[in-house]
Amino acid sequence: MDLTEILIKLCDTPGPPGFEDGVSRFVRGLFEQYADETRTDALGNVIGVRKCGKEGARKLLFDAHIDETGLIVTGAEEGFLRFAALGGLDARMLPASGVTLLSDPPVYGVVSVMPPHVLKDEDMEKTAKIEDMFIDIGMSQDEAAKAVPPGTPGVFACEARRFGEDKLCGKALDDRAGVAAILRALEMLADERLDVDLYVMASVQEEVGTRGAAPGVFSIAPDMCIVVDVGHAKTLDTKPADVNEELGGGVIISRGPNINPALAETAVKLAREKGIKHQIDVEPGGDSGTNARAIQISREGVATAIFGIPLKYMHSPQEVASLDDIESTARLLYETAAALS
């Protein structure tokens, strides 16, 4: 598996919340290489299973979400498009950003921005609100209304690329990096005999409240689940009280009420024994901000762990992740599945 090539294709395939069809189809094709069965449910969650063939086998689920932060067009004024956020779109990132509007055919647009020459001094430091922004698509009012009607979704217009020797830069690494780690783990497990039925889920609508994971996990009814998502990596402007994990520091293993302590301890022990680079993150609340919050309390409860991939500049058009960290995450997924067998 060329992890870099697959991850670039994953990141470049649009999939904002509620509009993940294209990336769902792509991921299902990837899952089919390793799963005995695959399906796509009504919401768009892609679910695969590799059966171990043993009666009464426990179910282990690997989950990562495939949606990305985006926007949706709400109307047009004089050819300029009004829009709203889909997920945690950061208003600071938007002025002068390029966006791809997923109409048929797709339309390129630029979020309009006032030049500094015409701003008042008191407005220079202010961040405009999304509801006050417009997208310029170079069309008249009639053309814009026909080409990009209300309800059209959009994403940042940028391509993923290699960044330094062992990193990747681009949009949607949250959480296509997690999907890539699961795919790599499936490749590593291809010749392993397991005692568990291994399920994988590429879930939708995480960015708007873990909406896909809840019905997806209900249908699977796993005994255990490992949620693979991204975590914040330190930068020069982060504070130690908020972020301690490092890019290149290895897989992040979370501890806290949203995580099953026995499953997390198994992961830490395996990481130490197998020499897998790792770091510990503390999630003191009951909501980790990941699919774990929905999965943990599904049905009678699911023993849930969170493996994180360090990420810089989350929810921006230029997120940065380390390929080595993705590999470490995949290795720990592999070792955990093997140890539970």
Q: Is the Cβ–Cβ distance between 246 and 233 less than 8 Å? A: yes
Annotated catalytic residue within 5, 187, 192, 206: 206
Length of the chain: 341
CA–CA distance, 248 with 262 (Å, rounded to integer): 26
The tokens describing 227, both together, are 């949620």
Tokens of 16: 């904002």
165 labelled catalytic:
no
Q: How far is residue 239 from each of residues 23, 248, 274, 310, 316, measured CA to CA in Å?
A: 35, 18, 31, 16, 19
Taking CA atoms, 51 is separated from 111, 182, 188, 255, in Å, by 48, 16, 16, 29
- HSE at residue 72, side-chain half, CA atoms within 13 A, is 13
What are the φ and ψ backbone dihedral angles of 116, each rounded to 5 degrees? -60, -25
**Measured torsion, CA atoms of residues 268, 269, 273, 276, in degrees rounded to the nearest 10:** -10
Pick from 70, 231, 75, 79: which is nearest to 158 by CA?
70
Residue 92, CA distances (Å) to 66, 137, 163 in order: 23, 20, 23
Q: Euclidean distance between the first and final Cα of the chain, in Å?
A: 25
Q: Which of 27, 169, 13, 19 is nearest to 87 (CA)?
A: 19
For 228, residues 6+ apart whose C-beta sits below 8 A from its C-beta are: 62, 63, 64, 175, 178, 179, 181, 182, 306, 307, 308, 309, 329, 333
Q: Which residues are catalytic?
A: 206
